[in-house]
Copies of this chain bind each other. A is one copy, B any other.
């Protein structure tokens, strides 16, 4: 939802919802820890373009996710022992599979704090080797609310691919796995460093 179109979730629901698969790498900038995002896939164009402006290198993919629901007789709802899997498919290949067995309810403060260090890169049209924009930015958000947090045991698998850069990562050791809901307002960002004219 943007301020410019506050009714969008009602008028065009398909333009107000998307699914995402994001890979975040722990890093730091001038001593402050945060995350860099080398790979991220979404399933709608508005978020793809917004992400490109922010510095997320978004590509298109389809994300499938186990639906847990208290009223479903066979699957059931969120509870200790519940199992959930998220699958990313892109260009006709399964790329990522992340699985989790719920063990216990957790709290928002158990989650790692997320600060994004993003790479804004926009090539020049005259010479692609000399970018018009090439800078590190940090994302800004407001109104972040987190709820329904569960901790569990996780598994993560990157599949082989003849083409996908994120293919075949491994071996992977999963240290923590969380399920949670988050809502927030993205308000922009700030430039931390520019590679141009350096």
**Complex formed: what's the CA distance from A54 to B85 in Å?**
30
Stretch among A24-32, A121-129, A171-179 lining the B interface: A121-129
- Nearest chain B CB to A101 CB, angstrom units: 9
- Check B62–A13 contact: CB distance below 8 A: no
With A62-B92, A125-B189, A133-B132 in contact, is A69–B11 under 8 Å at CB? Answer: no
Q: Is A94 an interface residue (CB 8 A)?
A: yes
Q: Is A17 an interface residue (CB 8 A)?
A: yes
With A89-B89, A132-B133, A190-B126 in contact, is A162–B71 under 8 Å at CB? Answer: no
- Check A188–B15 contact: CB distance below 8 A: no
Show the binding face of A for B, using Cβ within 8 Å.
Answer: 1, 5-6, 8-17, 44-45, 48-49, 52-55, 59-60, 62, 64-67, 69-75, 83-87, 89, 91-94, 99, 120, 122-126, 128, 132-133, 137, 142-143, 145-147, 162-163, 181-185, 188-191
- Check B45–A14 contact: CB distance below 8 A: no
- Check B73–A143 contact: CB distance below 8 A: yes
With A45-B59, A60-B44, A64-B92 in contact, is A191–B16 under 8 Å at CB? Answer: no
- Check B128–A188 contact: CB distance below 8 A: yes
- Check B163–A11 contact: CB distance below 8 A: yes
Q: Contacts of A87 on B, CB cut-off 8 Å?
A: 12-14, 92
- Check A183–B69 contact: CB distance below 8 A: yes
- Nearest chain B CB to A58 CB, angstrom units: 8
The chain B residue sitting closest to A3, CB to CB, is B74
- Check A13–B67 contact: CB distance below 8 A: yes
With A6-B74, A125-B120 in contact, is A14–B189 under 8 Å at CB? Answer: no
**Complex formed: what's the CA distance from A126 to B161 in Å?**
37
**Complex formed: what's the CA distance from A70 to B147 in Å?**
9
